[in-house]
Structures are given as structure tokens and as C-alpha cells.
Chains A and B, each alone.
Chain A
Amino acid sequence: MAEHGTVSIIINGVEHDVPEGERLITAAERVGEYIPRFCHHDKLAPVGKCRMCLVEVEGPRGSALTTSCTVPVTDGMVVHTETDVVKKAQEGILEFLLLNHPLDCSVCDKGGECPLQDQALAFGAGESRFIEEKRTFTKPIPVSELVLLDRERCVVCDRCVRVADDIAGDPLLEFIDRGSYVQINTFPNEPFSSYFSGNTVQVCPVGALTSVDYRFKARPWDLESVRSVSLVDSVQSSVDVHTSRGKILRVYGAENDAVNEGWLSDKDRFIFSAFRSPDRITTPLVRDGDGFKETSWSEAVELVAMRLGGHVGTEVGAIGGANGTNEEAFALAKFMRTVVGSPHIDAQLGDGLDPHLASSITARGTISDLDAASTILVWGPDLKETLPVLYLRVRKAVRNGAALVVVSPYSTGLDSIATHSLRYRAGSGPEILRKLAHGDAGYEAVTETLANGPVVALVGRSSITENPMLAEAVAAFARSLPHAKLLPLLTRANVFGALDMGLAPTLLPGRVSTGDAAGVSLLEDSWGPLPESAGKDTMAMLEALIDRDLVAVILAGADPIRDCPDPAVAESALDAAEFVVAFDAFMTDSTRKAHVVLPAALWGEVDGTVTNLEGRVQRLRRSVQPRGMSISVSAALDDIARAMGAELGAADWQLINKEIAAVAPAYAGMTADYLTFEAGEEGAVVPIPGATQPLGHIPVEVNVPVVTGRFTLHLAPALYDAGVLVRNSHMLEGFADPGVVRMHPRDAASLAVADGDLIDAEGVGLPVKIDPEVPERSVVITRNLDTTRGIAASADIRVETVRGEP
């Protein structure tokens, strides 16, 4: 008998110890015996559909052919994978699979990376006896706006159906008809509109499902593959970026079981089309009357240096930095605190959480903790809309038996699989928290579920209209649950990295509080004296610009007019500022108010490291050259510093990376070399062994006021909104919903409005959508759509019926 947890099996006469209960096909592969397969996929439930993995397993009545993808290993199992019987079976299956499969490899996108092609060569008979006419279908047909289907190529492996149903929870693809007429299809006029549709293209073992964008673009042997990270949201999914001749042609999910397990959202997968948008800013621009004129980098740098140098340091602020690399964020933090001499820096735009809570919470969990959780509490933004790959991981945990409690002011993507789904009127979160924390009639079942540890709590702000301190109170409650681990939820791509690099008024690099005297003096040893006054956050900076306490501001990939809670304040602030310099890749509402706009490289175009929501650092690798004259924010800041007579040491990302590892305590030892040679492609969660994190934030119970008022507002986030990258991505543009005001039927009745009637919501006219999922006396509006972005994120809202013209 093998050691505990393993069993001993004999494959082709050789004895191996393999994990107990593992599927035979996986166990065999683990010990170096590859068994061919089409339907088997590590991350999908076994179905035994394609029959390609037949092997001989000895049993009491002699050996029999068995599908190795469905059979768990048992102790003493004797398996043959290469006998004549197996060979004949596999040849037969391949002959069947190829009966109706067209020989169009030369024009098929999958040709060259096709499991059917490869395995037909390796395991097939080489010739078919089938001389009849093959089955044909109309081709290709769209199953969604992003995915095309060539049905005649399908080998009916069920992978896409399982991805759609089991993984994504969108069972919109199915087998239709039967026998030799069987096909994959959608219901008429109900396309496979899933946030995860691109995964079916990646798992398809033949060329049946192809991406609309990639179709006929390249051959796989012409592609270069670069392992990197998707900087679309703070999950930071691992990706393989495939390029050819200096262009990104497609993005595939990379197997990183700690993060995304190979899955991607369609936003991760297709957003790169924005990189080649004709609207990219490719040269430095300076204000010229009402517009801009192009200029050279040297002139732009001189101008910025002169204007920034002309002010007292504390009159300058910096907003943003959450969409770039850690190195860019660190360079900005260092530039502000040392070259400019200002403590006013914030990577969040008044839409986030307390920086201490987000960056340095104690008992912080990891994404893979979800796999072992008995109970998961989600109290934050709708995961499906904001962090879709994390949504998949929660789904997986629930599929494997975890209980799920979702608390939200509106229905979320997880409600349908939640054990308990608690709804509260936007603004009344503190009430329901009190009931949960102190017990209340009607909440016994939820309390009982939450008492079953280990608990993983995903805590954030359900919408920008919610008091950020509620998350602090929820975190304090969650921490009291048995064996609780917490994951703070912020969504901007590298916001956790930016906070860790000190892009917050109350944080220094490496999770050090600005109030930590020892930490401050340690940093001053290498940086020199730091500004003494307290730093302002984004909203305070914007107010200060209006009051002329601040006169200049740096926008690092930030659009406060779009993203901060009060667009009008942001607009007046930028109008009032004497000098605004913006690093950005696209013109936005805010960059249009800048005096100098510097072209910033996007994440496919820069090298560096990034940190995700669990504190995991991964390598972001450059896959293509920056567009036009774009460069990284850090390289631009290095030039500007030099023009101001200072040395930033940020000319090269590797220099910055070494400095981070030297001066940021939680990042001690976290160098690019450590990632490459020690951590591997999974990355590593900071602090790594040997490093310590100075700040350990223990969330406390805080008294958060309940919002009253006739109507309270929930500004619901949406995956496809009018965000700058979505807007500029020709593949994803147009997926955003038109804006509506959702309200409870009784509220609609009291206002005497019906579906489609126009209503005035805080001065913005929007049609009504009656929706019983909205709590009474509350309205739900999707955030950041073209039609809704003018609405200020105040917790209560004035909603009025639009009167007809007199």
C-alpha cells in the first residue's frame, strides 16, 4: 500500500504512486504517460464523450477498454495504454471523429495548434475508409458577437457546453438534434451573450469555435507568445499575449491556479483591441487656445518641469496611478514626495476604500482560500460586473459545496447560487449589518450559515454611493466569524499595487503608515526629508483646487470627471487649476482640461510588476512596442525630475524594481529576479518569507449613519460601461446597456410612471424600468454609461416625474 493519500497503480508494467481519487488520465499524465483526449479538460467535470482516451484496465473478468477520463485510480489498478487493443480502439475512434470532419486545415484557424490534427497524426491510422459525402452546415454562424461557429468541424466533445453551463453559469449553448446530425447551437435569437464566451474558443479542441477578431489573422507558428498579466481588473488574470509583427493578435488565459485557472472574462480577452485604436494619443500635446498642438517630448518635459517647479510643493497634487505598474506608481509616489515635495497623492478617486483597510488588512485571504472555504460572504460590488474571474472562483467554490451569503442593495450575478441573498435599501447597510452582527429575528438561518467556518469574506463598497466606512464595519464583523479570511475588494487594475507603492495620502511604500515614525525615518534615510503636512485625498485635492489651496495637479491615467463621486466638483477643480498635466493614452473628459498631455504606454507595452487584490505580485511583460511616442509614466517622470534638477532613478523599470525591494518593507526581496527564479509563473503574495509588513490594519466597528430621504441611489457597476478602454475597443464597444432608472413597482405606482416613461433623476432624464428586485424607496442606475455619467454619486437622489411641455 502506498503512503497516505496516494494509491499505487501499474501503468504499462511500471508501478507509480499517484494521488488517491485522481482521474486515471490525469494520474497517467503526471507520471509521463500521455493518453490522447478531446473532451477531457482539467478544469471541467468528466463526461467521457469523445472516447479518445480508451485504455485497457485489468479487472476480475480480464482486461477491458475504459475511458480513462472518467475512471478514478484505485489501489493496485493495472493499466495498459499502448497495447494493440488500445491502439486499434484509438484508431477507430479517430476514424469516427474524422468521418464528418472537413479536411480544411489549411484554411482553419486551429491548424497548427489543433489537438485533432496532432492526435490524428500521433494516434490515427493515417487513412479513412469513409468514402461517402461528409455532413455540411451553413458556415460560419455567429453564436455571439465575439464568437463564430463552424459546426461541421465540431467533434461533439461538450467542452464549450460545460464551460458555458458549469463554469460561466450561462447555459446558452447546447447540443441540438441527434446522431450524425448533432450540432452545437444557441436558441434562435438568443445568442451566447456571456461575459465568458471567449473561453469556449480557447478550450475548443478543433476549429469549430473561433474568435471573430482573430479569424484568418495569423497562423500559430507565426505568433510570439509572451506570458503576462491582464491589467483589466484587480484580479490580474495570467495571460499569454500572442503577437505577430509588433501587434497583439489575441490574448489567451494562462493556467495560474492561484489566480484565474486559465479562465478570462471577455473584457480581459478582447480589450487589447483598444491598444490599436486610432484615437490613441501618440505624441505629447500642449494646450493651444481651446485645443491642443503636438509638441516634442523635450519641449513638453521642459514645460512641465518649469510649471511644476514654479510652485511650492504642497500646492501640487497627484491623482491616479492605479492602472499602471508598481514601478510607475512607485516613481510617481517618489516624484511627489521627494522632487515636488507634496504629500497630496491618491490612486483612488473617492470611489474606493480607506487605504489602510485595502492595503494592509490583517487576516487577508487569497483567491485560492475560496476553494477551502465552508462559507463565503460577499458584501461589495457585484462580482460578475466588476471582477468576473473572481466571480467564477466563487461559483466554483459553491459548486463544490461552499455556502454563499450575498448582501447587496440590488440583485447580483451570484444571487441565483447563493444560500442566502440579503437585499437592503441602498444607504441602509448599517441596519442589516447590525442585525447580522447582533442577531435578529428572521436572520437565524444566515447567522447559522456564517457560523460555519472557515469563512472567506469578500468586502468592498457595493457602489460609489455607499459610505466607504460601511466596508470597514463589515470587515470588522467578518473578522469575528470563525477562521475568517478577508479579501478587500477594489476593482481598478493595479490599485492594490499603487496603494502598496504609497500612492495614498496616508501610506508610504511597502504598507507603511505615514503616522509610523520609525517607518518614516527609515524611508527618509534613503529619500531625504519627506513633506511633513498631512496629505489630501482626491476629493480634498479637488476641493483645494477650487479654493486655490492647490494650484497644480498631475493626472496619472485618471479621469476624475468620470470617476470621482461628484463630476461637477471635478470639472470646476480642473477648470480652476493653474496647471494640469495628464499622462494618458486617450483623450478623456479630464485630459481635455489639461495644459499638457503626455502619451502614456498601456500595459501591453511596458515591463514591470503588478499586485492584485490578494497582494500577489506578478511579472507584467511587454509584448509590443509602445504606440507612437508613448512611454511609461516612470520614464517620463524621470525626465521631468532631471529637468527640475533632481535625480529620480526611474529611467529603467528594473532600477525602480530594485529600489522597491530595498525601501518598501512589505516588498523586501520582491525583485523581478525573485519572481523569475523563486516564485515562478504563479507570482508570490507579499510579504514574502523574510519580509514583514509594518502596518496591520485591524478593522473596527464604526457607527455608519443610515441614509434617509425619499429615494436612495445605488449606482450599479457594469462590466461593459463607457470606460475609456471599452469605448475605444472596437470589439467591446456597443455592448453597454442604455441607461435606465430601475425602481420598485410600488414606487413607480406612487410616481404614476410606467416602463419607458422618462423620469428626471437628479437633473438627468432617463427612462423608467420597473424592477421588483429593487428595494422600495430606492433606485438603481447603471454607473458610467454615456447616459448616466452626469449623475453625482450622492447617497440620496431627487427623482421626479417629467412633466409634459405646457
Chain B
Amino acid sequence: MTAVISNWSHDNQERAKRIIASYPEKRSALMPLLYIASLEHAYVSDDAMREVAELTGITPVQVQSVASFYTMFKRGGVGDYLVSVCTSISCYLGGADDVLAAVESSIGDVAGEAAAERPITVEHVECIGACGGAPAVQVNYELIEGVTPEKAVALIKWLTATRPEVILTDEMQQLFGGRRSFEWGSTDSEGAVRPIPAFGPYGSVGGGSVGGGSAGR
């Protein structure tokens, strides 16, 4: 079979081969390969789905079916900062809708050159496991609890103004957070450098610091 993954980085191609070899059926490697594809391009493009289909011996639409089922596989371009506002029940009761509206309108406020250069993507998500600290927000999957609409606006302004290379949950919590669900203790997080969730077994801790790839950072 002629591999069509030539536009993946060498590391990721090797990683893909290792992953496929670790399953008795090639198609079982589908999910981790989609994750590698996300590392490569920051989202799962149509081309990436074709690549994964070729690697796993299934059809592209079967890949798309899985990729589109799981919302953390992004199928469109994501900015350097992915701001996820939880709107599930606890956060909703804590005023998440206002937080979301505030974030969305402040994104509008910073539109223009600055936003185009380092765009922020906003999404609303279902429960992210921080109900005790509702309403909760994530930036590149790093958590902040007890966020108010005002703090959320400040967060967006801070992201736009300082453009942090590494997103650290403790730092954001201190600057923009409120009541926490409980004291998490000191995190050993290296922080997140890309809008990709951490997924240890397949080469990424803290949002792709190992992944590298072609994101140009």
C-alpha cells in the first residue's frame, strides 16, 4: 500500500506505525491515529481522514463517522487558544451562559489585526468535571474555576495582550479564577503549548509539547 502520510512529520509517521503495530486489527488504531492527525495539523482535516483511512484499511467516511462523533477531534481550524466554556447543569446554574456571552462579545471586541494574528477560538462544552467550582472554563484544556463574566473578559484581554507561550492552570486560576472546588495541590503540569488535549500514551503531555509537528511554533 502506498502511504499517503508523507505530509506528516517523520516523528508522527513513526508513531503511527508503532500504534498500528500494537493492535491485532489495524482499524483498532483509528482513535489514536486521529489524535496524531490532530497533533499534526491542530485539527482533523479531510485529507487527514483520508490518510487515517488508508492506514487503517477502512473508508474515509467510516473515519469521519468516528471523528465527528467525538467533539474533541476538531474538524475545522482552531486558533492558538481554544477557550472552552462549560454550559452543563452546574455551570449553567452558576451563570455559564453569561460567561459564554461575555467571552463571545469580548472576542468581537478584540477583532482585527491582533485577533487575526493569534486568534482565539471559543466553544461551549459539556461537563468538564469541575462542577464544584462552577462556572468553569478551559484554555487549551487547562482549567480555571469560579469564573465570572468580568473575569472571563479579562482572561480574553490577557490572552490577546500577553500571548502566553505556555498556558498554566495555576497562573490563570490566580488571575481570573474564583472559588475552587477543592485545593488541587500543586500541579505537575508543564502547561499547554497548543490547543490539543494532553494524551500521555501517544506522545503528548500538556498539549503537544512533545508532538511538535508542523504547527509552526
Chain A residues packing against B (C-beta within 8 Å): 171-178, 185-188, 190
Contacts and interface: CB of A to CB of B under 8 A. Distances in A.
Contacts of B23: none
In this complex, the member of B49, B58, B64, B71 whose beta carbon has the largest number of chain A beta carbons within 10 angstroms is B64
B69 A171 contact: no
Nearest to A170: B59
A174 B46 contact: no
Contacts of A190: 59-61
Interface of B: 46, 49, 58-62, 64-65, 68-69, 71
Contacts of B46: 187-188
B68 A171 contact: no
B69 A178 contact: yes
B59 A177 contact: no
Given A177-B69, A187-B49, A188-B46, A171 B59 contact: yes
The secondary-structure label for the interface of chain B is: helix
Contacts of B64: 174, 176, 187
B58 A171 contact: yes
B173 to A, nearest CB: 31
B61 A185 contact: yes
B61 A186 contact: yes
Contacts of A176: 61, 64-65, 68
A129 B68 CA distance: 30
Nearest to A173: B61
Nearest to B69: A178
A691 B71 CA distance: 67
A57 to B, nearest CB: 31
A175 B65 contact: yes
Contacts of A174: 61-62, 64-65
B26 to A, nearest CB: 14
A188 B44 CA distance: 14
Nearest to A186: B61
Contacts of A173: 61
Contacts of B65: 174-176
B68 A178 contact: yes
A172 B61 CA distance: 6
A421 to B, nearest CB: 16
A171 B62 CA distance: 7
Given A187-B49, A188-B46, A172 B68 contact: no
The 8 closest A-B pairs by CB, nearest first: A174-B65, A187-B61, A187-B60, A174-B61, A177-B68, A178-B69, A176-B68, A171-B59
A648 to B, nearest CB: 56
A178 B49 CA distance: 18
Given A174-B64, A176-B64, A187 B69 contact: no
B41 to A, nearest CB: 16
Contacts of B71: 178
B69 A172 contact: no
Nearest to B49: A187
Contacts of B61: 171-174, 176, 185-187, 190
A175 B60 CA distance: 12
B179 to A, nearest CB: 31
A58 to B, nearest CB: 36
Contacts of B62: 171, 174
A465 to B, nearest CB: 30
A187 B68 CA distance: 11
Nearest to A178: B69
12 contacts: A171-B59, A171-B61, A172-B59, A172-B61, A173-B61, A174-B64, A176-B61, A176-B65, A177-B68, A178-B69, A178-B71, A187-B49
A449 to B, nearest CB: 22
Contacts of B49: 187
A268 to B, nearest CB: 25
Contacts of B68: 176-178
Nearest to B65: A174
A295 to B, nearest CB: 56
Contacts of A178: 68-69, 71
A178 B61 CA distance: 14
B108 to A, nearest CB: 25
A174 B49 CA distance: 14
Nearest to B53: A187
Nearest to A189: B46
B87 to A, nearest CB: 14
A188 B46 CA distance: 8
A366 B62 CA distance: 35
A719 B65 CA distance: 30
Given A176-B64, A190-B60, 10 more contacts: A171-B59, A171-B62, A172-B61, A176-B68, A177-B68, A177-B69, A178-B68, A178-B71, A186-B61, A190-B61
